[in-house]
Amino acid sequence: MKFSLACGDVMPGCTSRFTSTSREQLMAEVGAHARADHGVVDLDPQVVRTIDSKIVSVPA
């Protein structure tokens, strides 16, 4: 099982997609991307919940 997230589901207009084998790793990658490309310094709990709700699991 893998986990995938389209950043555009959270940040409209962004075309970046992330896939990882763990939710924790995926969240770390998305967090790093948000900081680097969206200027998000700190992911507040509401943003984390929104991201978490957009993560989809895909068969490995």
- Residues near Zn ion (CB under 5 A) are 7, 11, 14, 16
Element of type H or E holding 45: helix 45-54
Kindly tell me which of 42 and 59 has the beta carbon lying closer to Zn ion.
42
In angstroms, give the least distance from the CB of 53 to Zn ion: 16
Kindly tell me which of 39 and 45 has the beta carbon lying closer to Zn ion.
39
φ, ψ of residue 6 to 5 degrees: the values are -95, 115
Kindly tell me which of 1 and 36 has the beta carbon lying closer to Zn ion.
36
